[in-house]
């Protein structure tokens, strides 16, 4: 009996081994040339491919979307070159247990698995394009920087590229140059070259082993290497200085800006076509020199139609520009420069105060002030704005102002007079709101200060005031709005009654 059981066990074991072997022989499905990896087939893929570059992603992640497309493009180009590297992808939203085992904490991310070693992959830097992915793989196999032997070679390269990383070494084979090659292998989105040419050393007046950033052949920045220098020092130097003092946001620069090692971004929103732009830009750029490495200075052209979405993201209207805002990418908080005066001193003071932690963040709404409705002029904030402004029983006159604007503050006494004028009028409310500190869900098409009337009607209506900032014209404007609101509300009442009657009739028919 025991012999029989042992035979059965051996037979089952052989069958199971055959099934598993057959399963391992089954081809792994591909999507646009990329292996679709799961917990069940990852080991098989590692056995089959000596170099496996894996993309960890989450489909619903905005950042993953672009990397998925670029990764597939890289797979297609690798296939054409008959590379030994195979590309695979793991959807961490589906393969949560596998991601946990592999200690994947960031998506999207890339890891290169070599010789089937599942637990010691080569960490790949953040690569946003298929070209950068291919360059990184290529630099791992061969020299990571091109050898330049004379000045004409270098001039040809700098004429083609916006920025070139040049390593000047007395010995281009051993010593500190190896550190430079390691850096070049990790930074795949920039062109690297190395030289020992005395002619090039002389041209840039350099005497020691150094790394130089060249913009159109001109020296942008220089970093002297010593025996104490480590790879991270050089990478940080390049990443901090790879962008100009002021980087304009566009399709080409957006990924570099968002992935900058500098997490504090000072953003200038301005219309480049408007008068006064050059003066503001000069002040902005001059300030940038002092804060290189601490704050990244970014320009967003508010007059460029393609920037509509980024303006919407920051809740900035074209009419509000020029304005300056600090954005902290670590906690996603924003801090608005509290001034209409955009000169070197004002911008410098703001940067200094921010770095010292003295600037308050810009919130969607300030807290409701104590006694906000007890004063003649009601103080509104984002939280209570709609409830007060869109009240069908009140005609609400609102001053949209900026606390730091002298032009805004000049209207405060006028609004106090308006509040006194309507003190005994039950259907009129006079209010104000700091529009730079509170977000409101209405279309604003003019700069602060601005005056708007919210009529006492059921429909959410806004009537802008464009007359002189004087008591009598504004009173006439409000009274005309009140009269019109009475007529409009009477019509609304009739329409509302018709609608309610129709609803009642429909209910009766159903019964």
DSSP 354-410: HHTT-SPPB-S-PPPPTTTTTSSSEEE-TTTHHHHHT-TT-EEEEEEE-TT-HHHHT
Q: Which of 181, 113, 195, 188 is nearest to 152 (CA)?
A: 195
Average pLDDT estimate for 65-80: 83
Looking at residue 89, what is its pLDDT? 93
Question: Which CATH fold would you assign to the domain 246-355?
Answer: Glutaredoxin (3.40.30)
CA angle 233, 236, 238 (to 5 degrees): 110
* Among 36-40, 138-142, 305-309, 333-337, the least confident range: 138-142
pLDDT 10s digits, 95-127: 999 999 999 888 888 999 988 888 888 888 777
Distances (CA, A) of 125 to 129, 135, 306, 409: 12, 12, 29, 51
Q: Are 467 and 474 within 8 A, CB to CB? A: yes
pLDDT at residue 22 in the model: 44
pLDDT of residue 319: 81
Residue that is written with structure tokens 């900032």 in the block? 469
Backbone angles phi, psi at 370, to 5 degrees: -60, 135
Say whether the peptide bond before residue 230 is cis (omega within 30 degrees of 0). no
Q: 18 pLDDT exceeds 50?
A: no
pLDDT for 90? 93
Checking DSSP bridges between strand 109-114 and strand 122-124, what pairing results, if any? antiparallel
Q: Nearest-CA neighbor of 135 among 212, 192, 56?
A: 192
Supply φ then ψ for residue 146, to 5 degrees. Answer: -75, 140
Task: Report the pLDDT value the prediction gives residue 297, as an integer from 0 to 100.
Answer: 97
Average pLDDT of the segment spanning 135-147: 82
52 burial type by CB count under 10 A (0-12 exposed, 13-18 middle, 19+ buried) = buried
In 10 A of CB 291, how many CB atoms? 20
- Taking a C-beta distance cutoff of 8 angstroms, is the pair 193, 167 a contact? yes
The answer to whether 220 touches 292, Cβ cutoff 8 Å, is: no
Residues 259-275 have pLDDT tens digits of: 888 999 999 999 999 99
Average pLDDT, the chain: 87
Query: How deeply is 262 buried, as exposed, middle or buried, from its count of CB atoms within 10 A (0-12, 13-18, 19+)?
Result: middle
Q: Is the pLDDT of residue 283 over 90?
A: yes
| Region of poorest pLDDT, from 65-69, 199-203, 288-292 | 65-69
Q: Which residues 6+ apart lie within 8 Å of 251 measured at CB?
A: 306
Any idea which fold 378-494 has? Answer: Glutaredoxin (3.40.30)
84 pLDDT band (50/70/90 cuts)? confident
- Give the mean model confidence (pLDDT) for residues 483-510: 81
| In the chain, where the domains are located | 27-139, 143-241, 246-355, 378-494
Q: What band does 190 get if pLDDT is binned at 50, 70 and 90?
A: confident
Q: Measured between alpha carbons, how far is 380 from 366 in angstroms, rounded to an integer?
A: 9
Answer yes or no: are the C-beta atoms of 247 and 222 closer than 8 Å.
Answer: no
Task: Name the fold adopted by 27-139.
Answer: Glutaredoxin (3.40.30)
DSSP characters for 461-499? --EEE-S-SSHHHHHHHHHHHHHHHHHHHHHHHHHHHHH
- 145: DSSP letter: S
Q: What is the DSSP string of 291-312?
A: TTTT-EEEEEETT-GGGHHHHH
How many Cβ atoms sit within 10 Å of the Cβ of residue 308? 11
For residue 23, pLDDT beyond 60: no
pTM of the predicted model, to two decimals?
0.64
Question: What does the pLDDT look like over 308-357, one tens digit per residue?
Answer: 888 878 878 788 889 999 999 888 788 989 887 899 999 999 999 999 99
Q: Which two tokens stand for residue 207?
A: 């005497």
Pairing verdict, β 463-465 and 450-454: antiparallel
3-state class of 351 per DSSP? helix
**Domain 143-241: which CATH number of 3.40.50.880, 3.40.50.150, 3.40.30.10, 3.40.640.10:** 3.40.30.10
How many other CB atoms sit within 10 Å of the CB of residue 173? 9
User: Would you say the CATH fold of 378-494 matches that of 143-241?
Assistant: yes
Write down the H helix ranges in 82-129: 96-101
Section 292-318 average pLDDT: 89
């Amino acid at each position: 009996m025991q012999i029989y059981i042992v035979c059965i066990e051996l037979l089952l074991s052989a069958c199971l081994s055959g099934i598993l072997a057959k399963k391992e022989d089954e081809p792994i499905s591909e999507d646009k040339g990329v292996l679709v990896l799961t917990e069940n087939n990852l080991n098989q893929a590692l056995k089959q491919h000596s170099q496996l570059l894996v993309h960890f992603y989450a489909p619903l992640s905005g950042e993953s979307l672009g990397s998925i497309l670029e990764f597939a493009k890289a797979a297609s180009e690798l296939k054409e070159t008959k590379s030994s590297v195979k590309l695979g992808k793991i959807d961490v939203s589906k393969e949560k247990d596998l991601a946990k085992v592999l200690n994947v904490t960031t998506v999207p991310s890339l890891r290169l698995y070599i010789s089937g070693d599942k637990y010691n992959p080569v960490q790949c830097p953040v690569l946003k394009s298929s070209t950068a992915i291919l360059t990184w793989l290529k630099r791992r196999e061969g020299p990571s920087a091109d050898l330049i032997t004379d000045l004409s070679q270098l001039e040809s390269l700098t004429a083609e590229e916006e920025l070139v990383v040049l390593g000047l070494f007395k010995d281009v084979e051993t010593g500190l140059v190896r550190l430079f090659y390691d850096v070049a292998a990790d930074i795949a989105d920039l062109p690297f070259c190395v030289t020992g040419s005395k002619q090039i050393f002389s041209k840039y007046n350099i005497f020691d082993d150094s790394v130089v950033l060249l913009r159109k052949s001109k020296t942008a920045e220089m970093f002297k290497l010593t025996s104490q220098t480590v790879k991270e020092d050089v990478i940080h130097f390049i990443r901090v200085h790879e962008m100009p003092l002021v980087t304009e946001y566009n399709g080409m620069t957006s990924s570099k800006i968002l992935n900058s090692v500098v997490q504090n971004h000072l953003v200038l929103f301005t219309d480049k076509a408007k008068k006064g732009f050059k003066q503001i830009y000069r002040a902005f750029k001059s300030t940038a020199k002092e804060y290189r490495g601490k704050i990244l200075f970014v320009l967003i052209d508010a007059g460029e139609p393609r920037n509509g979405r980024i303006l919407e993201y920051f809740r900035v209207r074209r009419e509000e520009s020029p304005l300056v805002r600090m954005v902290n990418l670590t906690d996603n908080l924003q801090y608005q420069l509290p001034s209409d005066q955009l000169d070197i001193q004002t911008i410098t003071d703001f940067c200094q105060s921010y770095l010292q932690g003295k600037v308050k963040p810009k919130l969607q709404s300030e807290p409701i002030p104590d006694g906000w409705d007890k004063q003649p002029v009601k103080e509104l904030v984002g939280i209570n704005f709609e409830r007060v402004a869109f009240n069908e029983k009140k005609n609400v006159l609102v001053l949209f102002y900026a606390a730091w604007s002298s032009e805004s503050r000049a209207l405060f006494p006028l609004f106090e007079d308006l509040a006194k004028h309507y003190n005994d009028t039950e259907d009129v409310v006079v209010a104000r709101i700091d529009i730079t500190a509170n977000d409101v869900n209405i279309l604003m098409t003019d700069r602060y200060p601005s005056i708007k009337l919210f009529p006492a009607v059921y429909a959410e209506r806004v009537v802008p005031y464009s007359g002189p900032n004087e008591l009598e014209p504004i009173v006439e404007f409000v009274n005309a709005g009140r009269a019109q609101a009475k007529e409009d509300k009477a019509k609304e009442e009739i329409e509302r009654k018709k609608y309610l009657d129709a609803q009642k009739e429909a209910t009766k028919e159903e019964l």
